[in-house]
């Protein structure tokens, strides 16, 4: 168990809908990262927050947004969903802003857009 | 931009066989290099890392050496076990991104048969 909690584990929704994925980092970790894992794109970095502030942005679509709350949990909001958004979304945490050690990954939220 | 190329899978081996999974990278500057492992239904876990040229990362019998001259970080294990069956990801973090984001390879599935 990595200590990173993601909910829900599975999510099935329809095109055009909006969903929210939740992540609770390991106790004491200030950084939260979101990654998308899909069959065609592989594992892609979406966005990082550190202590409530956005610190880095990757290949995140404009239809997607995220935030980190004062209690350090994070939410990833996906709107106007398309079939191609079906993927496994991972959250990871680390204690630092820039990491040279390691990330702790949650077990992911499997999103299916029908 | 940064990229990581891994050998395609699946790799199927018999128990106690020798394992090599090739990984090469393209990056500016001096990236840190990682191998992560993903067991079925779980998030990624750090397997080993190397932060500078000629460093050797090792863990659980797995090894990889940071070769700057060939831009490679091949994963090896002398004798695989059934429990090593998983997907292995090579990754890098670049100083250009403040080492905030990991760039992953496409992953290599390893199947070890008894």
- The pLDDT tens digits along chain A (114 residues) read 889 999 999 999 999 999 999 999 999 999 999 999 998 888 999 999 999 999 999 989 999 999 999 999 999 999 999 999 999 999 999 988 876 567 899 999 999 999
B31 touches chain A (CB under 8 A): no
B97 touches chain A (CB under 8 A): yes
CB-based contact A103 B98, cutoff 8 Å: no
Look at residues A45, A74, A24, A90 and name the one whose alpha carbon lies nearest to residue B41.
A90
Token readout for A72 is 């350090």
Q: Is A65 exposed, middle or buried (0-12, 13-18, 19+ CB in 10 A)?
A: middle
CB-based contact A33 B101, cutoff 8 Å: yes
Look at residues A41, B39, B107, A51 and name the one whose alpha carbon lies nearest to residue A60.
A41
Closest partner residue to B89 (CB to CB) among A43, A45, A100 is A43
A31 to chain B, minimum CA–CA distance in Å? 10
């Amino acid at each position: 168990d990595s200590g990173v909690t993601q909910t829900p584990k599975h999510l099935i929704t329809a095109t055009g809908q909006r969903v929210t994925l939740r992540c609770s980092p390991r106790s004491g970790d200030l950084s939260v990262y979101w990654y998308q894992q899909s069959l065609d794109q592989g594992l892609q970095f979406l966005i990082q927050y550190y202590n409530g502030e956005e610190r880095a942005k990757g290949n995140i679509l404009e239809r997607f947004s995220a935030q980190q709350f004062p209690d350090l949990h994070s939410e990833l909001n996906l709107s106007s969903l398309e079939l191609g958004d079906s993927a496994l979304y991972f959250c990871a945490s680390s204690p630092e802003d820039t990491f040279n050690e390691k990330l702790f990954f949650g077990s992911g939220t499997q999103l299916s857009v029908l | 931009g940064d990229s990581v190329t891994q050998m395609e899978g699946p790799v199927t081996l018999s128990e106690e066989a020798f394992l090599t999974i090739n990984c090469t990278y393209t990056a500016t500057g001096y990236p840190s290099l990682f191998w992560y492992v993903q067991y079925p239904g779980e998030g990624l876990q750090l397997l080993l890392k190397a932060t500078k040229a000629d460093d050797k990362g090792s863990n659980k019998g797995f090894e990889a050496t940071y070769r700057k001259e060939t831009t490679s970080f091949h994963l090896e294990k002398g004798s695989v076990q059934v429990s090593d069956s998983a997907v292995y990801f090579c990754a890098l973090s670049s100083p250009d991104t403040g080492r905030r984001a990991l760039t992953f390879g496409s992953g290599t599935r390893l199947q070890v048969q008894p």
